[in-house]
Amino acid sequence: MSELDANILIGEREIARRVDELATEISADYADKAPLVLLGVLKGAFIFLADLSRHLSIPRTVEFIAVSSYHSSSISTGAVRLVMDVRESIENKHVLIIEDIVDSGHTLNYLTGMLRTRNPASLRTCALLQKSGRAQVDVTVDYVGFNIANEWVVGYGLDYLEKDRTLPFIGAIDIRDKD
């Protein structure tokens, strides 16, 4: 995909503006609870996490976790598996999970359930994108960048089979004839 043939859903400026708005809201909500642990879900959230972290006005640390539910295809199995765990303890810490996209809700449901057993002081969630009407499990997303329709999206961290992850915008692609 290139910028010339992409169906751009959310442009660079719109993303930057919304990331700044989210950072302002999160900074206000955690002003008396800092430092905040930003827990980025790899690989998709890395660009969003970096930009969001730079805009926060509160002390924070960054951790990463990796999970998988796609297993080399474009169809989620619904079964989530842990690929890489957090390196530091989150016990008694305020944790904000940073996700690229919430689609079925399985990944976020898995992560919040697992991480709650580690006794954080608080556990909340932030997603750049949330697909409307796609949830298969009930999950709460405390901070949402954008609500989008049920389209496959790439760019700004999101990919299709490891491609187009570094596009500076979010674009929709048609994957029907790609699998």
Domain extent listing, the chain: 12-153
For residue 47, the one-letter residue type is I
Task: Check whether 10 has a pLDDT greater than 90.
Answer: yes
**More confident call, 147 vs 178:** 147
Give the span between the Cα atoms of 102 and 100, in whole angstroms. 7
pLDDT over 50 at 4, yes or no: no
Burial class (CB in 10 A: 0-12, 13-18, 19+), 80: buried
What are the residues facing 67 on neighbouring strands?
A: 82
pTM of the predicted structure, to 2 decimals: 0.89
Give the tens place of pLDDT for each residue, 110-145. Answer: 999 999 999 999 999 999 999 987 777 889 999 999
Burial (CB count within 10 angstroms: exposed 0-12, middle 13-18, buried 19+), residue 108: buried
- Quick one: fold of 12-153? Rossmann fold (3.40.50)
Using the predicted structure, report yes or no on whether residue 1 has a pLDDT greater than 50.
no
Q: Decide if 32 is catalytic.
A: no
CA distance 99 to 102: 7
Residue 175 in this model has a pLDDT that exceeds 50:
yes
Which of 103, 142, 174, 179 does the annotation list as catalytic? 103
